[in-house]
Structure 1
Amino acid sequence: MCCLHGGAYAVAMSHLRNADLNLLQALAVLLEERHVTRAADRFNLSQSAMSRVLHKLREMFGDELLVRTRSGYEPTPRGQQIQSELAELLLRLEALLRGDTFDPATANGHFRIHCTDFATSQFGPILFPRFFREAPGISLTVAPLSDQSFTDVEQGRADLVITGVVAPHALRWETLFEEEFACLMSCDHPVTGNQLTMDDFIAYPHVVVDLLGMGQAMVERRLDEYGLRRPVGLRVPYFSAAVAALPGTELIATLPRHAVLEYVDDPAYRVAAPPDELPPFPYGIAWHPRVDGDPAHQWLRRVMRETATQVTGRAPREDGDVTAAADR
C-alpha cells in the first residue's frame, strides 16, 4: 500500500477540498444514462438543475465528460475512465460509511438486473415477493438482456446479468443450474416424433430469440461444432414472442425446457426433445469482481441462488464457487 506524506498529501487534500464530492453520485447517473433529462428524473432534479450540475462537473474535472453526438451524449475518454473507477469508488465509500454489515430490512438503495423475459417469468414469482419482503427500502430495475448487458456490468450501469450465455473474462460467472433444451412447434407441424433428429432440426425454419446481438449462441455454437446451420425464418427479441409465432407455421423454437413446460398440455403446441447433438447448457449469473466482497451484492446473489434452487429443485452453489476470468 502506498502512503502519502508531506507535500504529496497536501496536494491530494487540496484537490479534495476544492471538489464537491456530493456531485459524484450525480456524475455516475449522468454517465450511466448519457441523457440529461433521464438523469435528472433519476436524481429528482429538474432538467435545468441537472444541466447546471453537469457544468459544475466539467469545471471540477477540467473535461467535457459527456459530448453531444447524433445519437445522444457519449462519454469522452476521460469520462469513460471516470465511469469505470467511479462505480468501484462509490461502492467503497458506501461500505466505509455503512461498515461491514448489511441488513436488507433497513437498507436503502437500488439494484439493476439484466435478463430475458424467460428468466423474469421463471424467477419473478419467487424472487420479487422475497426481495421486497426482505428489503422493502431497496428498489429493483429489471432490464432486457442486450448486447450491452455485459458492458453495462463492467462499467457499473448494471449489477447482475442472468443469462444462458457465459460471461466474458472480465466478469465473474456462477452457474446456477444446467438447463436442457426443448423444441416447441405448432400442433400440426410435419415433424411428429417425440424427439427431433438433426436432419429434422435443420430441414425446417426456426424462430430465433436474438440474445446479446448474436442469436441464441448456446445453440449456434453446438451446431458450429458439427459444421451445421439451421435455417432462420424469424428473429424476435423475446421468448414469449417466439412462442406466439409458432401456431399455424412450420417454425421450430428451441427454448430452455422450463420455458415450454406450460405448453405441454396446450392443444395449440407440441413439445419434442431436441437432437442429441444439443446437450444441456449452463444458466447462471454474472457480476463484476469489484462487488465480490460487498455485503449487499452478496445478499443479492444469495437470493438469486436460492430462487434458482426453488425453481429447479437443485442445490445452490456457495458464494465463492464461481468461475473467474483466468479459469475460463
Structure 2
Amino acid sequence: MLSSDLLFLQQTDVNLLVALAALLDEKQVGKAADRLNLTQPAMSQRLAKLRQLLDDPILVRAPGGFALTDKAKGLQPHLIKSLLLAQNILQPDTFDPATTQGIIRFTTMDFAATRLTQSLFDSLLEFAPNIEIEFVRRPKNIFEKLENGELDLALGGMVEAPPNVHARHISNDSYRFVVAKHHPLATKKKVTLADTANYSHIRYTPTGAVEPMVDALYKKHKLQRRVTFHSSSMVVLLEGLKAGKHIAVLPWQLTQAEVHKLNMVPLDVPCIEPVDLMLYWHARSHKDPLHIWFRQLWLELLKTSINDMKAESSSHKKTSD
C-alpha cells in the first residue's frame, strides 16, 4: 500500500464505513442509528459526511421510504467483505488445535528427542492431528535460525540471548567427564584435570554454554585441551566415545542412565558449574496461538522426560552405591 493511501485512510474516519454498512442494510437513518446505538442527528451527520466523501447521495427517496443509489448497491458486497476481514484481523477466531493447520520446527539434543518423539506424536494425534513437525538437528547458530524463521523452538544451555529472543528455564544439570570402560583413565584411582589433558577429547559442536566453559577451565589451570573429534550429534558422540580413545563432557543427570547402559565410566574430576537448560523462541511467534499451544505441550513433555531421566539417574546411583 502506498504512503499516500495510508495517509488518506489516516485522515478519514474509518467508523464511517460501519455507519455506511448500517445505512445500506436498513435504508433508513433512524433504524441505522438504533442499530449502532447512535442518535438520529448523529447518524444524519455521518450520512452527510459519507455523501461528501463518496460524491453520491447513497439514499434517495422512493415510494414507501428510501432506496439505495446504484453506486451504493455496488459498494455493499465489497463493504461487507472488507468489514468481515477487519473483524477477523482485530478479533480472530478462538484457537482450536483440533482444526488448526501449521508447521513447527524445533531442535534439541538428538538423544533427548528419541525419548520424546513418541510422546509428542501421541499428543499431536490426539489433540492436533493437522500440525506438521520438523525436527532440525541442533545447529551452531540457533539464534540466527530463530531470527530468520528456520526454527521456532530451540533447547540449549544457558547463553545470553538477543533481545528479540524469549527464554524459559527448564532445568539445570551438572557435568561430568566420561570415558569408555577400556579407556586408560577408567581404572585410574585418582584422576586429575591434568591427566585428562593427556588424552583426546570430543567436542559437542552446537553453540552453547558448556564447551566454552570447559575450555576456560583448562585455560584457567594453564592446560591445553586436545580436541580431535567434533560432533553435532549427541548419539554419534556417545558412539564415538565407546571406541575408548576420547574423553567427553556430558550433562550428568540427563545422560547418566545412558552412560551406565553403555558401560561407560564417569571420572571423579571437578568439572564446570551446573548449567541451566533453556527453551528459546523468537518474539515474532511469542503470541501466536499455535506456537503458544505447542510451546506449552513441549515444555510439559520436556519437564516430564527430564524428571524421568533424573529419577533413572538416582536409581542407578543407589544401585551402584
TM-score in terms of structure 1 length: 0.60
CA distances 1:10-55 after superposition (whole Å, capped 9, x unpaired): 5999xxxxxxxxxxxxxxxxxxxxxxxxxxxxxxxxxxxxxxxxxx
- Aligned to 2:260, which of 261, 264, 285? 264
Unaligned 5+ runs, structure 1 = 14-92, 315-328
- Aligned to 1:312, which of 290, 306, 321? 306
Greater helix proportion: 2
Aligned length: 229
Contact 1:182 1:260 in 2 (8 A): no
Partner residue of 1:241?
236
Between the aligned partners of 1:209 and 1:220, the Cα distance in structure 2 is: 12
Partner residue of 1:301?
295
Between the aligned partners of 1:136 and 1:216, the Cα distance in structure 2 is: 38
Cα displacement (A) at 1:137:
0.7
Cα separation, partners in 2 of 1:213 and 1:163, compared to 1, 3 Å: closer
Please report the RMSD computed on the Cα atoms of aligned residues, expressed in angstroms: 3.4
Q: Please tell me the residue identity of whatever aligns with 1:233.
A: T
Q: For 1:303, what is the secondary structure of its paired residue?
A: helix
Contact 1:185 1:251 in 2 (8 A): yes
Cα displacement (A) at 1:219:
3.0
Partner residue of 1:220?
215
Between the aligned partners of 1:240 and 1:102, the Cα distance in structure 2 is: 37
Cα displacement (A) at 1:142:
0.7
1:119-198 correspondence to structure 2 within 5 Å: 119-170=112-163, 171-191=165-185, 192=187, 196-198=191-193
Q: Which moved more, 1:123-132 or 1:299-308?
A: 123-132
Cα displacement (A) at 1:224:
4.8
1:113 aligns with 2:106: yes
Partner residue of 1:251?
246
Q: Please tell me the residue identity of whatever aligns with 2:255.
A: A
Cα separation, partners in 2 of 1:112 and 1:238, compared to 1, 3 Å: same
Q: Please tell me the residue identity of whatever aligns with 1:235.
A: H
Unaligned 5+ runs, structure 2 = 13-85, 309-321
Contact 1:147 1:211 in 2 (8 A): yes
Partner residue of 1:199?
194
Between the aligned partners of 2:6 and 2:298, the Cα distance in structure 1 is: 48
1:42-57 correspondence to structure 2 within 5 Å: none
Q: Which moved more, 1:296-305 or 1:98-107?
A: 98-107
Between the aligned partners of 2:156 and 2:150, the Cα distance in structure 1 is: 17
Cα displacement (A) at 1:207:
1.3
Contact 1:185 1:271 in 2 (8 A): yes
CA distances 1:272-327 after superposition (whole Å, capped 9, x unpaired): 1563232221112111123222222221221122112211229xxxxxxxxxxxxx
Partner residue of 2:319?
none
Between the aligned partners of 2:11 and 2:106, the Cα distance in structure 1 is: 36
TM-score in terms of structure 2 length: 0.61
1:93-104 correspondence to structure 2 within 5 Å: 96=89, 99=92, 101-104=94-97
Between the aligned partners of 1:263 and 1:7, the Cα distance in structure 2 is: 62
Cα displacement (A) at 1:217:
3.4
Contact 2:181 2:244 in 1 (8 A): no
Cα displacement (A) at 1:131:
3.1
Q: Percent identity?
A: 24
Q: Please tell me the residue identity of whatever aligns with 1:120.
A: A
Cα displacement (A) at 1:232:
0.9
